[in-house]
Amino acid sequence: MELLDTSIANVSLPHIAGGLGRSFDESTWVLTSYLVANAVILPMSAWLSRVFGRKRYYMISVGLFTFTSFLCGIAPNLNCLVLFRVLQGIGGGGLAPVEQAILVDTFPANKRAGAFALYSMAIVTAPAIGPPLGGWITDNLSWRWVFFINVPIGIVSLLLTSRLVHDSEQFKAEVAEVRRAGKLRIDYIGIALVAIGFACLEVVLDRGQIDDWFGSHLITSMLGIAAVALVIAVVWEWRHSDPIIELTLLREKNFALSAAFYFLFGFVLFGSTTMIPEILQQLYGYTATDAGLVLGPGAAVITILAPLVARVTQRGVISPKMLIVFSFCVVAFSMVYYGHFTLQTDYFHYALARAIQGFGYAFLFVPVSVMAYSFLPANKNNKASSLTNLARNWGGSFGVAFITTMHERRMDLRQNYLARDLAPGNNLLQSRLADQIAFFEHRGFSHDGAVAHAYGFVYQQLGQHASFLGFMDCFRMLAVVCLVGIPLALWSRPFRPGGGTAAH
């Protein structure tokens, strides 16, 4: 539900802007406000779990997310909607890390792979179906229903959580001991530094391309504040006895590598998922529903393979590090496959590429999730899950910002290259112009009007081809990003899914 909400509102922005009487640029704060609040609260989730109790904090987060979803749906103006999205982001930021901590504490080490397999289906599928689902809801109902659909799901989640989820005895004993000893101190400085640093960095990533990056005083100021705050935060948190973000966990090699894999996973998943619906809807003329059908095979492949990967991981049939290497190779291949498409590529090949991509992801999430906790003590599960989810979310934010920026720049470069071929002596160009002029004259335009429309049509085609080639370049760049994960996986320590070091 929460992951779906990070992407479902994207395609509804023009309708939100029109419905509330504001510009499209102003409406983008509906996305930015949610992401900023989410980024700020996520690293604090481990500490808040100890303050309120894990189950209670999770129910508070679900309740806040659900209630503010309803408020977003009835928002009378943009200012109220942005405020409600901030509150919704605060609720949503506490969900994913607590969910993973619950899974780790609930299942013994030799059963975690199966639990993470089921969890991975939602992690990978939700961002993919968000844009097409949001488009379908907006087209057939109203943009307000993009938020209203969370309400019944949230209510069911609250009821199930109250009945089925319980804090583990170990977690309750740990919290009781901390409270009894008076060690549950509030790291005010850490909270302030993390909140300021992450909030400013999220604004930079989310609005950088919109505001022309370093050409904007807002972006340069926010980046400067983020850099200073986060550098101080790292030094402060590393030395603090009870930090908000326990960076010392990164001393454990496998956990640090797992965080890197989560970052790469978020970078490629969100980066590619941002491009595909945009390509299909803007350049191929697909509806939001049709674009969603293209994304569907990837989710189906993950759903089918995740239990199998869990079984292979649990039994140690194949080394987990080799599963991770295989995963990055397959996902890199899918990105290269995308990169060779043309404007004549049909539905089947897009669906096939997405299925290959999903095939690769199926072999990544489970072994990485098991690896993350393989050498950590159980009392660190809460803070470990906060860090891994933080890495995945920031990977997604950096991935989307990277793709948005690089597509714009590669499109400009490609357009310059294509324009070189549009010289007056180009026979193919002159033939195409003559056909277009005749077409518009036949439609009743004067000769001068037909010439103007013909040149406009050619320029439009030039822009579409440049945009498409820019997207293909971005897919190839994501393939290179995937390859970064291969040497990192080979560098990891051998481990058994049941915990500890594997036999050599």
At residue 49, what are phi and psi to the nearest 5 degrees?
A: -65, -35
Q: Which CB contacts under 8 angstroms, 24+ apart, belong to 417-426?
A: 418/462, 418/465, 418/466, 419/462, 422/458, 422/462
DSSP single-letter state for residue 250 = G
For residues 456 and 7, what is the distance between their CA atoms, to the nearest angstrom? 34
CB 202 within 8 A of CB 400: no
Coil/strand/helix, residue 422: coil
Whether 448 has a pLDDT exceeding 80, the answer reads no
pLDDT of residue 268: 93
Instruction: Say if residue 154's pLDDT is above 70.
Output: yes
Arithmetic mean of pLDDT over the chain: 82
Confidence at residue 504, expressed as pLDDT on a 0 to 100 scale: 37
Percent of the chain with pLDDT over 70: 90
Q: Please state, in angstroms and as integers, the Cα–Cα distance from residue 224 to each residue in 40, 190, 355, following that order.
A: 17, 18, 41
φ/ψ of 373, rounded to 5, equals -105, 10
Give 324-379 pLDDT, tens digit per residue. 999 999 999 999 999 999 989 998 999 999 999 989 988 888 888 888 888 887 77
What is the arithmetic mean of pLDDT over 278-283? Answer: 84
pLDDT, tens digit, for every residue of 370-418?
888 888 877 787 788 888 888 888 888 888 888 888 988 999 888 888 7
DSSP character at residue 322: H
Query: Containing H/E element for 255?
Result: helix 253-282
- Whole-number pLDDT of residue 465: 86
- What pLDDT, on the 0 to 100 scale, is given for residue 267? 92
Task: Please report, rounded to a whole number, the percentage of residues in the chain having pLDDT higher than 90.
Answer: 23
Rounded to an integer, the average pLDDT of 99-106 is 80
Per-residue pLDDT of 317-339, as tens digits, reads 788 889 999 999 999 999 999 99
Amino acid at 197: G
Give the integer Cα–Cα distance in Å for 437 and 209.
Answer: 37
Note the pLDDT of residue 383.
81
User: Options 1.20.1260.10, 2.60.120.1440, 1.20.1250.20, 2.40.30.10; which CATH number does 2-185+242-412+465-491 get?
Assistant: 1.20.1250.20
Confidence tier at 481 by pLDDT (50, 70, 90): very high
Task: Report whether 93 contacts 38 (CB < 8 A).
Answer: yes
Instruction: State mean pLDDT over 133-140.
Output: 78
pLDDT at 325: 94
The whole-number pLDDT of residue 46 equals 79
The two tokens of residue 72 are 């977003």
Confidence bin at 248 (pLDDT 50/70/90):
confident
Q: What is the pLDDT of residue 135?
A: 74
Rounded to 5 degrees, φ, ψ at 425 are -85, 5
The pLDDT assigned to 423 comes to 62
The DSSP result for 6-35, as a single string, is: HHHTGGGHHHHHHHHT--HHHHTHHHHHHH
**Per-residue pLDDT at 503:** 40
Cβ atoms within 10 Å, residue 289? 13
Which pLDDT belongs to residue 331? 95
Residue with tokens 């956990």, as numbered in its chain: 255
Average of per-residue pLDDT across 109-127: 73
The domain limits of the chain are: 2-185+242-412+465-491, 186-241
CA–CA dist 10, 455 (Å, integer): 33
Report pLDDT digits (tens) over 198-217.
888 888 887 888 777 888 88
Q: Which two tokens stand for residue 203?
A: 């604004």
| Displacement of CA 30 from its chain's centroid (Å) | 16
CA atoms in the 13 A half-sphere facing the CB of 43: 27
Give the residue, 123 or 255, on which the prediction is more confident.
Answer: 255
Lowest mean pLDDT of 146-160, 287-301, 395-409, name the range. 287-301
The pair of structure tokens assigned to 484 is: 């970064």
**CA pair distance 3, 97, nearest whole angstrom:** 12
Cβ count within 10 A of residue 432: 15
Query: What are the counts of helices (DSSP H) followed by strands (DSSP E) for the chain?
Result: 22, 0
